[in-house]
């Protein structure tokens, strides 16, 4: 491991440790976590800001596919300065500000894979770059790369006032779509300000009927990241045969769908995505996605984020608020 010459790294640090599968209530603030050491192909960053994602809540309940088992250092999205590099790393150089996805982001230091980090865009703070590694790529995959939105089409976006949802509304409007945004009524002004054409109450049991009432036979694309009872409403809201439903989250729980359903009830195109699997299993598609994201950055469509910031020690409370649906937009923890 090579360190930035001017920096002497401590051996221990503050962090949040998940101690059970009972959720964020069992996330503990500790002061004696060992500062990790970057292995070959890895970099160590001093975390300036850690992104909070719904997956952190799922992980805390043990409901995240292939998630870590407790006890583990929580958080996976971080941004900050590279302070040490592992063997074989030529880029990024120490001193560079980057953002990316690894383990243990709710801490003062974290390790990231060098090949997957993104430079913080010039003029942006680390905090403003949160979302570039998770929310924007996921929204872009769902809206464009897999969802194949075309100008003039209609898209139903669930959790539209959330971090990923706001990115999706922005992108869908950029590509010329009509947006139906589902969110809690208290969040409707936020999505209207982003350009949503119609708003629906995310908890209404008339959600599918309302979408059918304002479309010609249903939405061309549905961004399904809720699950539970809403999953069936999403399938009913999609246009028969040509409608695409991209499934990428299930805070409302699992929902069943049979081959009978697809033949006789919901004749729609169903796509599932996890952004990490997309990057690993379809590197060319992911490369095209990231190139498009770069172009959107240059064009000013993707702008510096304005996350709601909280002290690291408040992480468990922030995660509980995310789980209880009281948050809006991107959230960040500052160590
Ligand atoms: N597959 C992937 O790679 C990937 C990557 C990023 C995110 N995601 C998924 O995208 C979704 C949004 O994630 P995010 O991190 O951006 O969170 P977020 O949207 O900022 O927050 C979650 C929002 O989801 C809505 N929601 C609907 N049903 C819910 C329920 N039963 N419990 C809690 N919230 C519910 C709530 O908005 P309203 O109250 O306004 O309805 C809530 O505020 C999640 O499902 C997440 O797992 C998936």
Tell me the per-residue pLDDT of 102-150, one tens digit each, with 9 for 90 and over.
999 999 999 999 999 999 999 999 999 999 999 999 999 999 999 999 9
Report pLDDT digits (tens) over 243-264: 999 999 999 999 999 999 999 9
The answer on pLDDT for 89 being more than 90 is yes
Alpha helices in the chain (DSSP H): 54-60, 126-129, 135-140, 163-174, 188-193, 207-213, 229-237, 259-260, 275-281, 283-298, 315-323
* Pairing state between β 12-18 and 331-334: unpaired
For residue range 204-224, what is the model confidence (pLDDT) as tens digits? Answer: 999 999 999 999 999 999 999
In angstroms, how far is CA 278 from the centroid of its own chain?
A: 13
Q: What is the pTM of this model?
A: 0.97
CA dist list (Å): 111 to 32, 176, 186? 17, 39, 38
Measured distance CA(254)–CA(319) in Å, rounded: 21
DSSP 20: S
pLDDT of residue 66: 85
Residue nearest to atom 25 of ligand 1 (CA): 159
Question: What's the whole-number average pLDDT of the chain?
Answer: 97
**249 C-alpha vs ligand 1 centroid, how far in Å?**
7
- CB-based burial label for 213 (10 Å; 0-12, 13-18, 19+): exposed
Ligand 1 atom nearest to 183, measured from its CA? 40
Q: What is the pLDDT of residues 178-200, one digit of tens each?
A: 999 999 999 999 999 999 999 99
In ligand 1, which atom is closest to the CA atom of 253?
31
Asked whether the predicted pLDDT for residue 7 surpasses 90, the reply is: no
Beta sheet of 221-224, edge-to-edge order: 198-201, 178-183, 154-157, 221-224, 244-247, 269-272
How many whole angstroms from 252 Cα to the centroid of ligand 1?
9
Determine the Cα–Cα distance for residues 19 and 322; give it in Å rounded to an integer.
19
Instruction: Express each pLDDT in 159-176 by its tens digit.
Output: 999 999 999 999 999 999
The ligand 1 atom nearest the CA atom of 326 = 43
pLDDT value of residue 65: 84
Residue 48 has pLDDT above 90, yes or no: yes
Taking only the tens place, the pLDDT of each residue in 254-290 is 999 999 999 999 999 999 999 999 999 999 999 999 9
Answer for the pair 223, 246: CB distance below 8 angstroms, yes or no: yes
Q: Which of 162, 170, 285 to mutate to test the pocket of ligand 1 (most atoms within 8 A of CB)?
A: 162
Q: Can you read off the two tokens belonging to residue 307?
A: 């996350």
Distance 53 CA to ligand 1 centre (A): 8
Residues 219/239, Cβ–Cβ less than 8 Å: yes
Atom 36 of ligand 1, residue of closest alpha carbon:
325
Position 4 pLDDT exceeds 70: no
8 Å CB contact between 142 and 168: yes
Separation of CA 120 and ligand 1 centre (Å)? 25
Residue 335 has pLDDT above 80, yes or no: yes
Pocket lining for ligand 1, CB < 6 angstroms: 53-55, 134-135, 138, 159, 161-165, 183-184, 187, 202, 225-226, 248-249, 251-252, 273-275, 322-323, 325, 327
Q: Which of 78, 75, 73 lies closest to 98 in space, CA to CA? A: 78
């Amino acid at each position: 491991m090579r360190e930035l010459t001017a920096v002497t790294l401590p051996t221990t640090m503050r962090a949040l440790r998940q101690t059970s599968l009972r959720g964020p209530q069992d996330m503990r603030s500790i002061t004696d976590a060992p500062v990790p050491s970057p292995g070959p192909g890895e970099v160590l960053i001093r975390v300036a800001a850690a992104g909070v994602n719904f997956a952190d809540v799922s992980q805390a309940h043990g409901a995240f596919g292939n998630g870590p088992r407790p006890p583990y250092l929580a958080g996976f999205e971080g941004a900050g300065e590279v302070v040490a590099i592992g063997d074989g790393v030529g880029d990024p150089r120490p001193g560079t500000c980057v953002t990316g996805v690894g383990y243990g982001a709710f801490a003062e230091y974290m390790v990231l894979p060098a090949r997957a980090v993104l430079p913080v865009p010039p003029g942006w703070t680390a905090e403003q770059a949160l979302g570039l590694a998770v929310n924007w790529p996921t929204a872009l995959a769902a809206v464009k790369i897999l969802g194949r939105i075309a100008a003039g089409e209609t898209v139903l976006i669930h959790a539209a006032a959330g971090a990923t949802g706001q990115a999706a509304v922005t992108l869908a409007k950029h590509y010329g779509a009509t947006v139906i945004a589902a969110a809690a009524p208290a969040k409707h002004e936020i999505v209207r300000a982003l350009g949503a054409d119609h708003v629906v109450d995310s908890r209404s049991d008339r959600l599918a009927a309302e979408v059918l009432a304002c479309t010609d036979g249903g939405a061309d694309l549905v961004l399904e990241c809720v699950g539970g009872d809403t999953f069936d409403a999403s399938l009913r809201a999609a246009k028969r045969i040509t409608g695409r439903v991209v499934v990428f989250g299930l805070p409302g729980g699992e929902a069943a769908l049979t081959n009978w359903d697809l033949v006789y009830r919901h004749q729609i195109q169903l796509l599932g995505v996890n952004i990490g699997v997309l990057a690993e299993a379809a590197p060319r598609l992911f490369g095209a996605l990231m190139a498009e994201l770069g172009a959107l950055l240059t064009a000013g469509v993707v702008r510096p984020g304005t996350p709601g910031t909280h002290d690291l020690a408040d992480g468990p409370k922030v995660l509980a608020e995310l789980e209880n649906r009281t948050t809006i937009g991107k959230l960040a923890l500052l160590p």
